[in-house]
Structure 1
Amino acid sequence: MIALGVDPSLTCTGVATVDTATGEKLTRRVKTANRGGTLAARRGRLREAIAAILDPLPRRVGVSVIELPNARQQYGAQAERHALTWWLIDQLMARGPVVAVTPSQRAKLATGAGNAGKAVVLATVRAQHPGVTVVDDNAADALALAAAGAHWLGFEHPFTDGQATAFARVDWPS
């Protein structure tokens, strides 16, 4: 079974998979450029990102874990960020169960601390997954989510006490 983790972003989405049959862990990033402010340009950017995220994946996955946008942050292109997330959720639900987590839950799953910064998340994920290429915080976030999903599927993952507590608080499918 494949566990998928997605840290969606208009500029650089982190994507990670854990194959629970082989133990293989992969990360990648999907980058999309701003095409302008017209509706057609914004739609095109979203469609390009979604295709680049989903096309390499199998038609079925054991579970997808995706980070929701931070509701408190009011950056530009807020509508597009939310659209990207919800269109991905829609498409991922056709491939298997989907779990959505908040940014704080993602940080806790990665490090055991909900207020962990990007550098701490990156260092912790790299330490917990030696031999896996984790180029930046986007890939680290995605791998932390995929690892939690793999654990839910029964794959052994060495959680700290804080991570185990965070895992237990996620609304996993029944």
Structure 2
Amino acid sequence: MTTLFQLTEAPAATTAAGPPARYRVAGLDISLTGTGIATLGGTTCIRTKGRRADSIPDRRARQKHIVDTALTEIGTVDLACVEGPSHASMGQAGHHDLSGLWWCIVGALVDRDIPVAVVPPMSRAKYATGKGNSRKAAVLEAARKRYGAILPNDNEADALILRAMGMEWLGTPLAEVPDGHRAALAGVQWPDREAVTGR
């Protein structure tokens, strides 16, 4: 797992009810070839390869490996921020399998009673760079600069941005971002806040 330099999580403001809350948030950029995951411990990427000639059992085994590994990496968290489907790439090879993988992971999180936020790709890019149409390379560069993180690939950068969005939504931002970037939070399908903060 890649570690993050100079990454501290600011606690939420102290309330009359007691000490500030600290939330466990995971970010997931789900992919058949490189699922990026970000947690308090850092970032990692689950790499797999498939072939067009793969049998149904082979394809299922690949999905199961990604799901099981992702759930192990995530562990127990208060919120999982998952990148939503990219409708612009629905015609690409493997889209059917990717949709199945997405639902396998999200379904497993729900079965574990982990609240899930679904972040549109454009919202993820806007939070990172201020522009919803930014390419992955721009998001990677922005993540490296803002969070001082060692990020070997854009999958892990996307996951870190997703996690940062969840932390921001909970009032414990990983770093200050401009208001224009923060506006991206409005496009996210958030769970019921009490389901997260009341855990």
TM-score, with length taken from structure 2:
0.78
The alignment status of 1:5 with 2:5, answered yes or no, reads no
Task: Quote the Cα distance in structure 2 between the aligned partners of 1:4 and 1:88.
Answer: 13
Q: 1:150 aligns with which of 167, 172, 175?
A: 167
Structure 2 counterpart of 1:66, one-letter code: V
Deviates more, 1:116-125 or 1:100-109: 100-109
Alpha-carbon distance, 1:51 to partner: 1.0
Gaps of at least 5 residues in structure 1 are: 19-24
Task: Quote the Cα distance in structure 2 between the aligned partners of 1:86 and 1:57.
Answer: 16
Alpha-carbon distance, 1:57 to partner: 2.5
The alignment status of 1:92 with 2:109, answered yes or no, reads yes
The alignment status of 1:121 with 2:139, answered yes or no, reads yes
Based on CA coordinates, which of the two structures has the bigger radius of gyration? 2
Task: Quote the Cα distance in structure 2 between the aligned partners of 1:106 and 1:56.
Answer: 21
| Structure number with higher strand proportion | 1
Count of residue pairs brought into register by the alignment: 166
> What do you get for the CA RMSD once the two structures are aligned?
1.5
TM-score, with length taken from structure 1:
0.88
1:20-43 per-residue CA deviation (whole Å, 9 max, x = no partner) reads xxxxx5110001121642110110
Gaps of at least 5 residues in structure 2 are: 1-22, 193-199
Q: Report the secondary structure of 1:104's partner residue.
A: helix
The alignment status of 1:56 with 2:78, answered yes or no, reads no
Q: Once the two structures are aligned, what percentage of the paired residues are identical?
A: 35
Q: 1:46 aligns with which of 63, 79, 84?
A: 63
